[in-house]
């Protein structure tokens, strides 16, 4: 994305835009005071890639996700050659699942490899009272989204 501020223009990759709360939970992004987003560039997926966004909610009337997964796969000759996996609703920022992507590339699509990728994604979860259920729910959300795309 492109941002404009008093110090000029800059480009920020989306994976570097959000901040973890740390000692400044009031700062959610890397934007400086007075800086604003002027453009967002969304690269096209490779030809033949399929994608899905799956949002799991408590009830249809609630807008926020308990968990969500955005996935895309490119399957060529029965093997996944490109994979992108991201999670929402499980942390303070959108979460790109690089470990899952690495496990998927070069593998034959199937529930077993999808489950392994989900397990690799959520290794050391931070849970507080009332959120422990999200660990398994997030894993199942990843698997289901990948299964939907791989059909």
Give me the CATH number covering residue 80.
3.30.390.50
In degrees, rounded to 5, the angle at the alpha carbon of residue 125 between the alpha carbons of residues 81 and 107 is 15
Statement to judge: residues 69 and 131 lie in one domain:
yes
pLDDT in tens, 17-63: 999 888 888 888 999 989 999 999 988 999 999 999 999 988 766 67
Token reading at 138: 């997030």
Q: How far is Cα 126 from Cα 129, in angstroms, rounded to an integer?
A: 10
Statement to judge: residues 83 and 25 lie in one domain:
no
Kindly state whether residue 45 falls inside one of the protein's structural domains: no
**Which residues form the domain of 108?**
50-150
Q: How far is CA 84 from CA 39, 56, 89, in A?
A: 23, 19, 17
pLDDT in tens, 80-121: 999 999 999 887 888 889 999 999 999 999 999 999 999 998
**Helix, strand, coil in percent for the chain, rounding step 5:** 25, 30, 45
């Amino acid at each position: 994305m492109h941002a404009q501020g008093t110090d000029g223009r800059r480009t920020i990759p989306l994976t570097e835009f959000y901040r973890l709360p740390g000692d400044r939970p009031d700062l959610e992004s890397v934007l400086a005071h007075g800086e604003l987003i002027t453009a967002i560039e969304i690269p096209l997926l490779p030809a033949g890639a399929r994608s899905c966004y799956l949002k799991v909610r408590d009830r249809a009337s609630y807008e926020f996700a308990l968990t969500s997964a955005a996935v895309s796969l490119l399957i060529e000759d029965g093997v996944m050659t490109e994979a992108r996996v991201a999670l929402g609703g499980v942390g303070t920022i959108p979460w790109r699942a690089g470990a899952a992507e690495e496990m998927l590339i070069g593998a034959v699509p199937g529930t077993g490899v999808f489950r392994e990728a989900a397990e690799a994604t959520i290794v050391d979860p931070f849970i507080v009272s009332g959120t422990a259920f999200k660990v398994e729910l997030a894993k199942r959300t990843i698997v289901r989204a990948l299964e939907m795309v791989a059909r």
